[in-house]
Amino acid sequence: RVHFVDEGTETRSGLLFKSSPEVRFFFFFVSQSADYEPFLPVSEKSNPLTRDMDRASPDSIVRMLQACDTQMFRKETGATHQVKVANRVHIILKDPQDSLVVLSGCGTSGRLAFFITVKSGFNRALRQLNRSEIYAYIIAGGDKYGLVFYSEAPEDDPKLGTLSLKQACEGKRRVLFIGISCGLSAPFVAGQLDFCLQNPEVYTPVLVGFNPTHQARDEPIPGCSFTFRSVAERMRALAKRRGAFLLNPVVGPEAVSGSSRMKGGSATKILLEVVLSAAHAATFSSSPITDEYPARLNLCRRVRFSLQRGRRVRYLGWGSLGLLGLVDASECKPTFGAGERRRFRRRNNPSTSRPQGPAFRVSHEDFLDLVLPGLTDEDAVLLVYTRVVKLARRVREKTSNLHAVYHQTDKDTDEIDKLCSSTLTFTWTLETPGMICFLSQQWELATKLVLNAVSTGAHVLKGKIYQNYMIDLQVSNSKLYRRATRLLQKLSGLPEPRSEEALLKTIYQMDELTADVTSGDVKTHIRVARNHKKVVPLALVCLLTGCSIKEAESRLEQKPIVREAVEECLSKPASPLEACNPLKAT
Ligand code: S6P
């Protein structure tokens, strides 16, 4: 049986899944609190559970992150259409001729579309059954820029979204389009959904996100007559007639405000894998899923140690777990402004051609050639798979800072335990023979939660976060431009126009704005902002102290830990300019 929570009532879809054995599913819940930050959608709010995260010990950080993740599973009320979407997939699985299920998104959401389609094994399962593959994915910016490189800009382009959808679906007569946007905000996805709504004879749109529809982004999209919210509302109206579906449970604010790579990403993975697994179970009478929930890893302290010394953290992985390492590391650049990103994964077929360039040199062989020789005790290496004793031994010769996330289905110990200074072991039980089909999805979720906790915790400990706000965010698309302005407004206590003005001054490196700049559009500002570092912290220092950009730069140079620099400004602004600080004046 499949249990879903729908408007506070548990719904059992006995008809659809009659043939499958017991299937226990995750629950999603609305945990909205209207009493704080009322103008922000849930996905952008700061989470009360992590408000003091910047001052917490590693243990407390991990506990806070776990508490935040637990909000995804709290049993309250929900409002979703999972069963109906699973039913649509089930119909396509039965008759796949000229049909496609397309998953699409930007940033982490696009990476998960890729991951669920390619790695979670749904197409593979179909191949094994000699059935046609029905799943495809779209990631904004394409594989190269979306998956490995950091690029948030294509997210703002609805026409690019539409074009990539048309290309992916050429010649199809029936398409179930699943657009993922955790914040219900990406214009790229809005463009695709709008296109589906205009072509209902072929496309049925599904929106996956984690805000209620009335909180979807309502900012005008240049060149379009719709906003994300207007598209979501049209879908909601159509949902009654099953012309569109909304899967938008609310899972509470992120641990680091707006960092949807965390809960948003995990909830996307769970939600879609549950829906697709259910459809497969219904079609092929497959096996059960259980709802084990993983433990957490206290590795943050060691990883922080490496980051603080300007050294590297390396993830060594295999298959889908290695890919999760790649995804987590890719996200550290936009989220924390982290440096070089290179994860190492075993290359199954070394002869397969792959994109050129150092960022793509991620095989185990590349690790041995390029990284191992320079590895020191100050670097951290995290193995995200097991039974790699040979490689682990070679790493151990260079650094004792070696850790492992280890999944086992029996009680066997491994030499890895002895080689690593810490090991997080997940022991999974095989209750039924069929369980193995879904085990890898649980390994992946557990691994994702651990990697997110480690990379977030370590950057928090490094001082990248103020309270639970990422202050050093990169202003690389319109969502982040708005978030940066809002953050400046919140932390300075000044009105939005003053905050935006300060942001523009640091983006353009000028103490007085010219008419050209003030009349420019957000797209232009973002293009310029991409070339500058610490744009938001600099703007904040200028706002709080009234100092020039040059002075703000020298303050930040003296205090490279952004949190400390901000705290200093908040507590004692520069004396000659004190009068300029509105907080001080009030
Ligand atoms: C968030 C991550 C971003 C988002 C992207 C899409 O932690 O850095 O890359 O995934 O902006 O967001 P959304 O709300 O459309 O899923």
CA 476 to centroid of ligand 1, rounded, Å: 12
In which order are the strands placed within the sheet that holds 344-345?
344-345, 313-317, 380-383, 402-408, 422-427
CA 334 to centroid of ligand 1, rounded, Å: 10
Tell which atom from ligand 1 comes closest to the C-alpha of 259: 7
Average pLDDT over residues 381-405: 76
- State the pLDDT at residue 30: 35
- Please answer whether residues 459 and 234 qualify as being in contact, where contact means their C-beta atoms are separated by less than 8 angstroms: no
**Shortest-distance Cα residue to atom 15 of ligand 1:** 181
Average pLDDT over residues 295-320: 64
Average pLDDT over residues 60-76: 82
ipTM above 0.95, yes or no: yes
Which of 443, 435, 402, 436 lies closest to 419 in space, CA to CA? 402
Average pLDDT over residues 375-397: 74
Query: If you search the block for the tokens 């990169």, which residue do you land on?
Result: 474
Per the model's pLDDT, the better-predicted residue between 386 and 172 turns out to be 172
**Shortest-distance Cα residue to atom 5 of ligand 1:** 107
pLDDT value at 76 more than 90 = no
pLDDT value at 432 more than 90 = no
**Shortest-distance Cα residue to atom 9 of ligand 1:** 107
CA 60 to centroid of ligand 1, rounded, Å: 26
Per the model's pLDDT, the better-predicted residue between 76 and 511 turns out to be 511
Tell which atom from ligand 1 comes closest to the C-alpha of 108: 10
Q: CA 8, CA 301: separation in Å to the nearest integer?
A: 41
Per the model's pLDDT, the better-predicted residue between 26 and 389 turns out to be 389
Residues with beta carbon inside 6 Å of ligand 1? 105-109, 152, 155, 181-183, 185-186, 259-261, 264, 331, 334-335
- State the pLDDT at residue 48: 92
Helix (H, G, I), strand (E, B) or coil at 340: coil
CA angle 315, 321, 326 (to 5 degrees): 50
**Shortest-distance Cα residue to atom 11 of ligand 1:** 107
- State the pLDDT at residue 78: 44
Cα separation values, 25 from 127, 275, 289, 398, 409, Å = 25, 10, 7, 44, 21
CA 409 to centroid of ligand 1, rounded, Å: 34
pLDDT value at 297 more than 60 = no
pLDDT tier for residue 103 given thresholds of 50, 70 and 90: very high
CA 260 to centroid of ligand 1, rounded, Å: 6
- State the pLDDT at residue 208: 97
pLDDT value at 134 more than 90 = yes
Q: Which of 47, 68, 108, 229 to mutate to test the pocket of ligand 1 (most atoms within 8 A of CB)?
A: 108
pLDDT over 70 for what percent of the chain? 75
Q: At what angle do helices 549-558 and 496-508 cross, to 10 degrees?
A: 80
CA angle 201, 270, 458 (to 5 degrees): 130
CA 423 to centroid of ligand 1, rounded, Å: 30
Tell which atom from ligand 1 comes closest to the C-alpha of 264: 16
**Shortest-distance Cα residue to atom 4 of ligand 1:** 107
The total number of residues written for the chain in this structure: 586
pLDDT value at 413 more than 70 = no
Q: Which of 106, 184, 215 to mutate to test the pocket of ligand 1 (most atoms within 8 A of CB)?
A: 106
**Shortest-distance Cα residue to atom 3 of ligand 1:** 107
pLDDT value at 44 more than 90 = yes
CA 261 to centroid of ligand 1, rounded, Å: 6
CA angle 546, 552, 554 (to 5 degrees): 145
Average pLDDT over residues 129-145: 88
Tell which atom from ligand 1 comes closest to the C-alpha of 479: 11
Q: Which of 182, 227, 478 to mutate to test the pocket of ligand 1 (most atoms within 8 A of CB)?
A: 182
Q: CA 108, CA 351: separation in Å to the nearest integer?
A: 29
84: CB partners within 8 A, 6+ apart: 242, 245
Tokens representing residue 151 in the block: 């690029």
CA 382 to centroid of ligand 1, rounded, Å: 25
Cα separation values, 48 from 33, 212, 259, 261, 485, Å = 11, 19, 15, 19, 21
pLDDT value at 109 more than 60 = yes
pLDDT tier for residue 158 given thresholds of 50, 70 and 90: very high
170: CB partners within 8 A, 6+ apart: none
H/E element holding 402?
strand 402-408
Break the chain down into helix, strand, coil percent, rounded to 5.
Answer: 50, 10, 40
pLDDT value at 108 more than 90 = yes
Tokens representing residue 63 in the block: 């506990």
Please give the mean pLDDT across all residues of the chain: 79
Q: Model's pTM, two decimal places?
A: 0.79
Tell which atom from ligand 1 comes closest to the C-alpha of 189: 15
CA 106 to centroid of ligand 1, rounded, Å: 6
Q: CA 454, CA 244: separation in Å to the nearest integer?
A: 38
Give residue-wise pLDDT tens across range 500-541.
999 999 999 999 999 999 999 999 999 999 888 889 999 999
pLDDT tier for residue 196 given thresholds of 50, 70 and 90: very high
- Kindly compute the dihedral angle of the four CA atoms of residues 213, 218, 224, 225, in this order, to the nearest 10 degrees: 80
Tell which atom from ligand 1 comes closest to the C-alpha of 261: 7
Q: Which of 150, 208, 260, 481 to mutate to test the pocket of ligand 1 (most atoms within 8 A of CB)?
A: 260
Residue type, 226: F
CA 153 to centroid of ligand 1, rounded, Å: 11
Least confident of 237-246, 307-316, 325-334, 574-583: 574-583
pLDDT value at 431 more than 70 = no
- State the pLDDT at residue 346: 53
